[in-house]
C-alpha cells in the first residue's frame, strides 16, 4: 500500500521525524503500520483539533512522515498542490488544474485543494494510482474524477453549446424572413436581437447557469433553461446531468468562456522555509 504522507515527503525532499518507537502500532493520521523501531511521535492532538473524525486510528502515535506534515511550514506548502515523488506542483490557477485534469503526471500522486486557510489535507487523501481516476481532496470533500468521462464531458458541453447556437440562429433567420415579408418597402429598422441571440453569437456557451471552483454555490451545475428548450441539446444535457461531483467541479476550471491553456506548474519543492521540524 502507498501512503500519501510518504509520497509528500519524497516529493518535498523532506525527512521523517520522531524517535524510534518501542512497540508496533499504527499511525493515527494515515493508518500506516508502525513497526518497533520506526520513527514516530506521540499523537499531538488536543481537544482543539478539529479534524478528529478524519483520523485513521486512535492509536496515540503518529508516523514520522505525518509528523512532518503537521508542522506549520508543511501545512502551508501542501494547501493547493499535486504531489508526486518528484516534486510539489501548485494547483491554484486554472491553467495548472487543466494540466492535472487533461495531462496528469505519472501516478502515484496526491492532489489537494484547500478551501480555508491551513487545512490538514495530505494524510487523509487517497493516493491517485491511475490517470483514469483522479482523486482530489477539496477541503472536507473527496472528489473522484473519471478522466475519460471528464474528457467526454468537455465535448458534450461544446456540442450542447453548438446545438443552442444553431437553434438560436435558425430562430433569428425565421424572424428576419417574417419581418422582410411584412415590410416590402424595406423602410423599417431590423428587430433588435434578443439576449439569447446576442449570447449565441459569442463562442459556444456552456450549458450551466454556474460552475463553481469551490463546488459550493447552490447554482453550481444547474443546467440553463434556455439550453433545455433546444431538443438537439438535450441528449448532451442528459449525459452532463449524470456527472459525479468531482467531474462537475473539474469542469469549472475547464469550460470557462476563456478556456485555460494547460500549463505545467513549477516544482515548488525546496522553497519552503525551515520550520519546526
Residues found near Zn ion in the complex (CB under 5 A) = 5, 27, 29-30, 32, 63, 66
Q: Which is nearer to Zn ion, 25 or 84 (CB)?
A: 25
To Zn ion, the closest distance from the beta carbon of 11 in angstroms equals 15
Given the complex with Zn ion, which of 36 and 92 has the nearer CB atom?
A: 36
Neighbours of 75 (CB within 10 A): 18
CB of residue 275 to Zn ion, shortest distance in Å: 19
Cα angle, residue 15 at apex, residues 10 and 19 outer, rounded to 5°: 140
Least gap, CB of 235 to Zn ion (angstroms): 47
> What are 155's three cell numbers?
465535448
Between 31 and 193, name the residue whose CB sits nearer to Zn ion: 31
Query: Smallest distance from the beta carbon of 41 to Zn ion, in angstroms?
Result: 10
Cis bond before residue 108 (omega within 30° of 0): yes
Q: Between residues 65 and 227, which has the closer beta carbon with respect to Zn ion? A: 65
For Zn ion, which is the closer residue by CB, 14 or 149?
A: 14
For residue 19 the three cell numbers come to 524517535
Compute, in degrees rounded to 10, the torsion defined by CA atoms 3, 30, 16, 272: 90
Q: Which is nearer to Zn ion, 29 or 269 (CB)?
A: 29
Least Cβ distance, residue 8 to Zn ion (angstroms): 10
- Name the minimum Å distance from CB 66 to Zn ion: 3
Amino acid at each position: 500500500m502507498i501512503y500519501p504522507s510518504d509520497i509528500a515527503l519524497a516529493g518535498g525532499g523532506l525527512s521523517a521525524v520522531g524517535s524510534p518507537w518501542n512497540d508496533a502500532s499504527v499511525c493515527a493520521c494515515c493508518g500506516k503500520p508502525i513497526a518497533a523501531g520506526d520513527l514516530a511521535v506521540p499523537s499531538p492532538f488536543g481537544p482543539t483539533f478539529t479534524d478528529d473524525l478524519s483520523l485513521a486510528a486512535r492509536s496515540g502515535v503518529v508516523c514520522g512522515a505525518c509528523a512532518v506534515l503537521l508542522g506549520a511550514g508543511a501545512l502551508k506548502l501542501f494547501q493547493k498542490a499535486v504531489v508526486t515523488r518528484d516534486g510539489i506542483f501548485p494547483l491554484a490557477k486554472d491553467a495548472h488544474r487543466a494540466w492535472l485534469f487533461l495531462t496528469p503526471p505519472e501516478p502515484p500522486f496526491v492532489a489537494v485543494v484547500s478551501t480555508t486557510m491551513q487545512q490538514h489535507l495530505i494524510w487523509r487523501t487517497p493516493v491517485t494510482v491511475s490517470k483514469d481516476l483522479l482523486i482530489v481532496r477539496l477541503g472536507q470533500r473527496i472528489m473522484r474524477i473519471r478522466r475519460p468521462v471528464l474528457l467526454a464531458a468537455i465535448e458534450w458541453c461544446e456540442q450542447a453549446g453548438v446545438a443552442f447556437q444553431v437553434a438560436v440562429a435558425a430562430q433569428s433567420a425565421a424572424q428576419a424572413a417574417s419581418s422582410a415579408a411584412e415590410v416590402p418597402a424595406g423602410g423599417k429598422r431590423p428587430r433588435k436581437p434578443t439576449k439569447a441571440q446576442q449570447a449565441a453569437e459569442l463562442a459556444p456557451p456552456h450549458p450551466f447557469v454556474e460552475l463553481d471552483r469551490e463546488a459550493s454555490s447552490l447554482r453550481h451545475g444547474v443546467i440553463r433553461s434556455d439550453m433545455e428548450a433546444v431538443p438537439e441539446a438535450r441528449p448532451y444535457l442528459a449525459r452532463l446531468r449524470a456527472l459525479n461531483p468531482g467531474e462537475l467541479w473539474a469542469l469549472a476550471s475547464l469550460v470557462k468562456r476563456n478556456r485555460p491553456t494547460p500549463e505545467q506548474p513549477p516544482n515548488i519543492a525546496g522553497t519552503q522555509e525551515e520550520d519546526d521540524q
